[in-house]
Amino acid sequence: MHGTESPSDWVQKWAHLTPKNSQMLDLACGAGRHMQFFKGLGHQCTGVDRSSEALALANQHGQVIEADIESGPWPLENRQFDVVVVTNYLWRPLMPRILQSLASGGLLIYETFAAGHEKIGKPSRPDFLLNPGELLQTFASLHVVAYENGYWPDAPKYVQRIAAVRQVNDSDRQFGLSCR
């Protein structure tokens, strides 16, 4: 079942940028492997997935929301999170919602399959594979901390991944807050 494997190395590598007791969103969380990881770091976790079976496992790590985020209403209206994690999932129409869900000063960690992966396995449809530089273009308004795009032979897979921070907005600056 998706979400029962170890946390992504990419997620683990950049999780230290999230302050203690942050609100974390794991989008398309599956069984909640990243929720479990962030809960262990002292964060409050929310996971969204359409599989009730997977969410039955994820609910031990935080709040879970069963929702079909591709064809149903967005279940997180007016909610923002200090860290948003998305792995092995791509639905381009949601990209603006993902960005809206990231709080000022918040961290986005995104990792999914990239063009080239169709040569070695699934997913193979272009709808589910990022184009070169797509995460950089999609999240151009964020401050990029790290970005990778290519083939990882140890997996083996073609992936694209980004760790990026939303700049602190003007209302936060008036209260003396700054970007991490």
**What residues pair up with 163 in beta bridges, in sequence order?**
109, 146
Spans of the chain, pLDDT less than 70: 1-3, 169-180
CA 112 to chain centre: 9
pLDDT value, residue 68: 96
Whole-prediction pTM: 0.91
Q: Are 94 and 101 in contact (CB under 8 A)?
A: no
pLDDT value, residue 20: 86
- The tens digit of pLDDT for each residue in 157-170 reads 999 999 999 998 65
Give which of 30, 36, 112, 24 is closest to 76, Cα–Cα: 24
Which domains occur in the chain, in start order?
9-173 (3.40.50.150)
pLDDT value, residue 19: 86
Give which of 138, 139, 129, 123 is closest to 160, Cα–Cα: 129
